[in-house]
Amino acid sequence: MVRYAVRRLLLVVPVVLGAAAVAFALLLLLPGDPAVALLGQEASAAELARFRQLLGLDRPVPIQLGLYLWRIVHGDFGRSVTLSAPVLQLILSTLPATLELAISSIILAIAAGIPLGLLAARHRGTPVDTGTMLLAQLGVSMPVFWLGVLLILLFAVKLNWLPSFGRGAPFLSSVITADLPALADSIRHLFLPACTLAFFNLALLSRLTRWALLEVLEEDYVRTARAKGQRERIVLYRHALRNALLPIVTIVGLQFGNALGGAVVTETIYGWPGMGRLVVQAIGQRDFPVVQGAVLVLALIFSLVNMVVDLTYALIDPRIRYE
Amino acid sequence: MIRRQMRRTLFVLLTAALGIALPGWAAPSGGTLRVGIDVDAGTLDPRLANDTTARRVIEQVYDGLIELDPQLRPRPALAESWTQLTPTVWVFKLRQNVHFHDGTPLTAADVVFTYSTILDPGLRAPLRGLYTPISRVEAVDNETVRFTLSAPYAPLLKYADMGIVSKAAVERLGADYATRPLGTGPYKFVSWQRNSRIVLEANPEYWKGQPRLSQVVFNIIPDNTTRSAALESGDVDLIHSPLSPQDVARLRSASRVSVTEMTGLGITYLNMNTVDPIVRDVRIRRALALLIPQQTIVRQIYREMDKPATSVLLPAWAGVFTDEIVQPGHDITRAKALLAEAGWTDSNRDGVLDKDGQPLSLTIRTHSEDPNRVQVVELLVSILRSSGIDARAEITEFPALVQALLAGNYQVALLGWLGLVDPDRGMYNQFHSKGSQNWEKYNNPRVDALLDEGRQKSDPADRARSYRDVARIIASDLPYYVLTYQGYIVGINRRVQGFVPIPNGSFRSLWGTSVP
Amino acid sequence: MRSSTRESATSKRPARRRHLTPSARVGAAVLVVIALAAGAPWIFTRASPDQVDILARLAPPSHAHPLGTDNIGRDLLARLVHGARISLTVALISVGGAVCIGVTLGLLAGYFGGWTESVVMRIVDVFLAFPAILLALALVAVLGAGVTSVVTALTLVFWTQYARVVRATALAEKQKVYVEAARAIGADSGRIVIRHILPNILSPVIILATLGMGTAVVAESTLSFLGMGVQPPAPSWGWTLAFGTRYLRDAPHIATFSGLAIMLTVLGFNLLGDGVRDMLDPRFRPQ
């Protein structure tokens, strides 16, 4: 296990370097002068010249990449063109909001998706099963932004139960300080965006849970077709669930990716002040240092999460070997 | 055992969750005003601010030498009094016992520092062009500042509302000053959560007296409809233009909201590139103007939130505006005749006018952030196409549009101006051949002379005459076709008292505003 | 529903279906309708998607306009019907491109192994390190909004899953006896790949591609919704939905119907994809 863990950890390094290279390459793909893109339209000729030298824009590409990586490692992600602040500071100030949204949506998806899949598997063939799977199919097909818009229309506009924009108090801090009004405020603002983001993963997870359970059950179920009683069936289901955990755990990594990607749209619709909205606005403002930095940081987080998932997977199933 | 703990936690969470069902939890408790605004500020340094939100926040944190009243007349702020010694020398006497929020006293040195740095090209202050006639700023003594101009400059006083920064703080904080503003204004800066909110609190030592509000929170809500909904539901107390017309209609009938509408200081206009091979022909520009159904657009798309424009003169410019100077109206027959006169005919019968083998192609650009402008452009493209012009829309984000304008890489663009407090502000940089915002490269020596006159003459009647002459020429040459005069609309919760709207969007009256 | 359990007990795998399930048939039917809308819009409406009627803007569904009008009075049904072509074309080209790149690289990696495989798989890992929408967004931001950028971006985002699957299959096939035999005789690699390996990768690729079309439609709509996709006045579904959300209170029909169009198309591809999987390779699960 330790050997696998070390190997897996080492794998993160080239992937992250590669991701950094892709983030760097984004700048090369830009039409026009990259110095102008990074400094902004109003930069003077002298500043542009100095910046070009700093970035080594006149040197061969591999050296530029090296300089870029060097700066990244030292925490220098550049300065935002439109928001008068270092990119790293902007990213760090918006990251908690995105994590709050992404993590709460995954928890919601797991808390609702697995029981639903379980339900469908237990009652396979019945209308409960068909109904649940139909819902799940809809959920997987529904675009995130449409769902968000519909939820806003219903809960914020027609019923006026919940706010349609912004973030309330930070969830964790209000839980820790047991500040009930702040907690209520936090949940009021978090509820709709988290549900919107969770829906796709929820549907996916319920389908997967049902499938995984049935896979296991089908084999054993046949053997114990003439089951001797209720207790054996419960043991059976528990055993099946444990085996079904493997594919479910794998999916969590995928879900995190879905959540991060979906957060981009959800944050825009709900005005949630996270990294997703920062990136979208930066793209609209042609603020490339922010786009580059945000893309890299999100890739980093995603890689780390995948690594943790892989390690957990290996923990559960010792047969895993990395090819 | 564990299950019992879980049950308890569940209970706590449920109780907290009940808070969800209680609407208006966020109802404010005495003294906090929540404002809804559309964009996040770029910087909170008054010398570098370039967006409306930055200006609204800066107005609270800083004072200028003067401030503008609802009729746009300057009245004393940090400057207690001023005199014009000669046509090119102004002396301002500063108010005594004014302190920055960190306790340090305001002195003439701060004023000199503010204006000198703005004039310094190295700072790249976006409004530098408004202050270039100032050749020298100096402190006569601790409380007196003298401005020496290179030529008489009538609008100087109107532009003297620039926030005065603390020299010591700028030198100490450097670039960080943009995110940690320090001024003398009625409200102190507390915090800034990017893309979310900016929080200010009252300055008890304010020279006018303690503000009635204890806190002002600016909530950043980019979508117009969401912002209006927030006002309606009581999540914010104050919003103002830009607003969507359909939301304004609803706000007018909302019971807890009071809506004030007045003529604004902005225009929406078509910028026509006078260097472009097709658009450089004035007959094409006139034909374009004649094809635009201005009244229909204002009525249908803007729902009379804005008013149809007659010329580049704004109704708010009292004494200068006259509705006798008019741009070409809506006349399709005349438009077609003009196009024919200019040599454009459909020689190959493909439905598109052409000349010398080239089709009459026109691309109209605008920016995607303003849905009304997008609709206007789509409508115009449709109308032009039915008149035989091969028209296309090109809709990009605002920065891309600005880039195209700066590079001269456009034919026609629909955009706007805001905050035109003075005819000089609305015409000099736009139409003077040396103007910094003359993207359409309009070059007319007569207009240049008239604009310089307007800047230097001090008698209002003389200035009015000059600017009217300019407007007459522009209405004929059409480097700009002004589509609408923007209205300025304020939506405010009825329980808020003491707020006085000012047409340039200023929130200076928040000092005297209160919330029960 | 799966086939009989008796077969599962003996073969330990669900048997392949011979026909499409009812739900897959529904999916196929929906797709036929959408494809008709894309290819022959006149069947559904004679109205033009560009005909502006400013005085009739934001009208709810009526006899003259079955789905109502949009914000400058264009017939919504016409806009949605013509929008189908955009969505389907973009999806088709993106998935097609992704399949080409992914299959090629996957085959190279799987069959030749060694250094080629390591390089290709590392590249796949790097691309997979980015959340999909984010990468697409960044690429479109850099390349500039518009159809070409969208297709390029989506192709670059989607190719990795095909590469992975094809490589795995190629690896498995490579070790089979008949391939060893062919090599022993001296048959050249290209022939082996085409004759023996390629037919076996068809199933997973077809399944992935069918499901992938749905994902591509959503991705294109998402990009348009954020203003980074196909530009107006082209009647892209995502753009119509984006505009519709501004008029949610006065004219909810715009957002509702355009979102419905997207969802139905995706649903069609998902249902069909599930059915295809049941027919070709029921154990297959896309990673």
**A322 domain residue, yes or no:** no
What ipTM did this prediction achieve? 0.81
CA atoms within 13 A on the CB side of A73: 9
Q: pLDDT confidence of B10, banded at 50, 70, 90?
A: low
Whether B240 contacts B419, CB under 8 Å: no
Does residue B170 or residue A288 have the better pLDDT?
B170
Question: Domain containing A8: what range?
Answer: 2-73
Domain shared by A49 and A134, yes or no: no
**A269 domain residue, yes or no:** yes
**C20 domain residue, yes or no:** no
User: In the prediction, which pLDDT does C262 show?
Assistant: 93
Distances (CA, A) of B219 to B40, B41, B57, B254, B501: 9, 11, 11, 21, 19
Long-range contacts of B342-349, Cβ-Cβ distance < 8 Å, separation of 24 or more: B342/B281, B342/B283, B342/B284, B342/B287, B346/B388
**C71 domain residue, yes or no:** yes
Q: B182: buried, middle or exposed (CB in 10 Å: 19+, 13-18, 0-12)?
A: buried
Tens of pLDDT along B353-377? 888 888 999 999 998 888 899 999 9
H/E segment holding residue B257: strand B257-272
CB contact under 8 A, C270 and A299: no
**C12 domain residue, yes or no:** no
Domain shared by A55 and A165, yes or no: no
Q: Confirm or reject contact between C72 and chain B (CB < 8 A).
A: yes
Domain shared by A200 and A67, yes or no: no
**C208 domain residue, yes or no:** yes
CB contact under 8 A, C142 and A284: no
Which of C242, C76, C241, C54 lies closest to B376 in space, CA to CA? C54
Mean pLDDT of C127-140: 86
Angle, CA A321 vertex, CA C156 and CA A13 arms, to 5°: 50
User: Does pLDDT of B268 surpass 80?
Assistant: yes
- Report, in angstroms and rounded to the nearest whole number, the Rg of chain C calculated over CA atoms: 22
Domain endpoint, select from A73, A97, A115: A73
Tens of pLDDT along A26-80? 877 776 677 777 776 666 777 777 777 777 777 777 888 888 888 888 888 888 8
**Residue A297's domain is classified under what CATH number?**
1.10.3720.10
The 10 Å Cβ neighbour count of residue B262 is: 14
User: In the prediction, which pLDDT does A236 show?
Assistant: 63
B28 by DSSP, 3-state: which? coil
Domain shared by A196 and A106, yes or no: yes
Domain shared by A99 and A62, yes or no: no
Q: Which of A32-46, A176-190, B144-158, C266-280 has the lowest mean pLDDT?
A: A32-46
Angle, CA B491 vertex, CA B485 and CA B497 arms, to 5°: 125
**A78 domain residue, yes or no:** no
- Chain C residues closer than 8 Å to A258 by CB: 131
d(CA B407, CA B430): 15
Q: Nearest-CA residue of chain A relative to B402? A: A41
Q: pLDDT confidence of C284, banded at 50, 70, 90?
A: low
CB contact under 8 A, A160 and B233: yes
d(CA A83, CA B221): 17
- Strand (E) positions, C165-215? none
Q: What is the mean pLDDT of chain C?
A: 83
Whether B265 contacts B421, CB under 8 Å: yes
**C8 domain residue, yes or no:** no
Domain shared by A54 and A96, yes or no: no
What is the 3 state secondary structure string of C62-86? CCCCCCCECCCCCEHHHHHHHHHHH
* Structural domain count of chain A: 2
Angle of helix A87-122 versus helix A230-270 axis, rounded to 10? 150
User: In the prediction, which pLDDT does C2 show?
Assistant: 38
User: Does pLDDT of C125 surpass 50?
Assistant: yes
CB contact under 8 A, A145 and C241: yes
**A95 domain residue, yes or no:** yes
Whether B511 contacts B186, CB under 8 Å: yes
Question: Domain containing C115: what range?
Answer: 38-54+64-280
Place of tokens 């599930």: C274
Angle, CA C268 vertex, CA C21 and CA C105 arms, to 5°: 95
Q: pLDDT confidence of B494, banded at 50, 70, 90?
A: very high
CA dihedral (B422, B423, B424, B426) positive or negative: positive
Tens of pLDDT along B68-104? 988 889 999 999 999 999 999 999 999 999 999 999 9
Using DSSP bridges, classify how beta strands B480-493 and B238-240 pair: parallel, antiparallel or unpaired. Answer: antiparallel
User: Does pLDDT of B507 surpass 80?
Assistant: yes
Q: Confirm or reject contact between B175 and chain A (CB < 8 A).
A: yes
Q: Return phi, psi of residue B40, to 5°.
A: -80, 145
Mean pLDDT of A135-148: 88
Q: Confirm or reject contact between C57 and chain B (CB < 8 A).
A: yes
Domain endpoint, select from A17, A51, A73: A73
* Structural domain count of chain C: 1
Domain shared by A137 and A223, yes or no: yes
Domain shared by A119 and A214, yes or no: yes
Mean pLDDT of A172-180: 83
Domain endpoint, select from A73, A108, A130: A73
User: Does pLDDT of B153 surpass 50?
Assistant: yes
**A171 domain residue, yes or no:** yes
Does residue C158 or residue C48 have the better pLDDT?
C158
d(CA B441, CA B107): 42
d(CA B167, CA B186): 19
**A137 domain residue, yes or no:** yes
Tens of pLDDT along A275-304? 988 988 888 777 888 888 888 898 888 888
**Residue C201's domain is classified under what CATH number?**
1.10.3720.10
d(CA B45, CA B182): 9
Q: What is the mean pLDDT of chain B?
A: 89
- Chain B residues closer than 8 Å to A286 by CB: 397, 399-400, 403
Which of A108, A139, A112, A106 lies closest to A253 in space, CA to CA? A106
CB contact under 8 A, B16 and A184: yes
The DSSP line for A114-146 is HHHHHHHHHTTTSHHHHHHHHHHHHHHHS-HHH
Mean pLDDT of B45-65: 93
Domain shared by A53 and A96, yes or no: no
Whether B72 contacts B505, CB under 8 Å: no
**A214 domain residue, yes or no:** yes
Rank B9-13, C12-16, C62-66 by mean pLDDT and report only the highest: C62-66
**C43 domain residue, yes or no:** yes
**A132 domain residue, yes or no:** yes
d(CA B46, CA A206): 54
Domain shared by A105 and A223, yes or no: yes
